[in-house]
Amino acid sequence: MPLPIKISEETFTPRQQAVLTAALDLLVENGDGLTMTAVARRASCSKETLYKWFGDRDGLLTATVQWQAAKVRMPHVDRSHLSAKVLRESLEQFARDLLTTIIGEVSITLNRTAITHAAQEKDSLGNIVLENGPMAIRRRLKPILEAARDARLLRFNSSEDAYRIFFGLVVRDVQIRLLLGDKSLTQSNVEANIEVDVKAATDQFLALHGAKANT
């Protein structure tokens, strides 16, 4: 029973959401130690119920990832009143949300799980994470970039390229290092520098693509 790519709102009953929460907690705690027995015990439900609701282990995993991934909220920017100031603030907000998200335990766990899954010819989890992560940001950011270009606040040829540059400037090596378990990048460590990094990335992006840029 393949779940839909898009989760609207009440795809799951409260009880089911409690189960998914338990599953996610286990995932965050134990890495992939997500066994059906453990979830059942944690959620105080029977394995039979799990199988009835989610089909099999993969279904439970998919539902969990999907449900959590959909929780990521993007900032909403008013495109009609774009000024240099508003643009900068919007970019900073995007950078801040992006950084805050990727350094979170939940995001790390979800990405790890999806990557593990992708290592087995199964791309469903990867697609969900992609769709709710990078692609969601892209969908939100590109219109803003294009509006800013129309307003002569930015210069670039391809909004796709511009988005990817922004992504790179914000994320850099932070995500891959966290995914690989780099001990020298503690969450608090990165967290403390978020504002600095956000500002730096925005400055750099504007230096490259701002109206006054010579590129």
Q: Which residues bind DNA (CB under 7 A)?
A: 15, 33-37, 40, 44-49, 51-52, 56-58
Binder of residue 159, out of a copy of itself, DNA, none (CB less than 5 to 8 A by kind): none
Interface with a copy of itself in residues 57-86 (CB under 8 A): none
- Return the number of the residue (18 or 130) whose C-beta is nearest a copy of itself: 130
**Which residue stretch of 35-43, 64-72, 144-152, 159-167 sits at the interface with a copy of itself (rule: CB under 8 A)?**
159-167
Cα-to-chain-centroid distance, residue 18: 22
| 182 touches a copy of itself by CB under 8 A | yes
Instruction: For residues 79 and 102, give the distance between their C-alpha atoms in angstroms, rounded to a whole number.
Output: 26
* Least distance to DNA, CB of residue 35, Å: 3
- State the binding string over 128-147 for a copy of itself (x if CB under 8 A, else -): -xx---x-------------
- Cβ of residue 5: shortest distance to a copy of itself, in angstroms? 14
C-beta of residue 116 within 8 angstroms of C-beta of residue 32:
yes
Does residue 115 belong to the site contacting a copy of itself (CB under 8 A)? yes
CA dihedral 177, 35, 130, 128 (to 10 degrees): -170
Q: 122 and 177 in contact (C-beta within 8 Å)?
A: no
| DSSP H helical ranges for the chain | 14-30, 36-42, 47-54, 57-69, 84-102, 105-118, 124-132, 134-150, 159-171, 174-179, 187-192, 194-209
- CA 64 to chain CA centroid, Å, is 14
Lookup: tokens for 104: 């979170």
CB of residue 52 to DNA, shortest distance in Å: 6
Q: Contact positions toward a copy of itself, by CB under 8 A?
A: 30-33, 109, 111-116, 118-121, 123, 126-127, 129-130, 134, 161, 164-165, 167-173, 175-177, 179-183, 200, 203-204, 207-208, 213-215
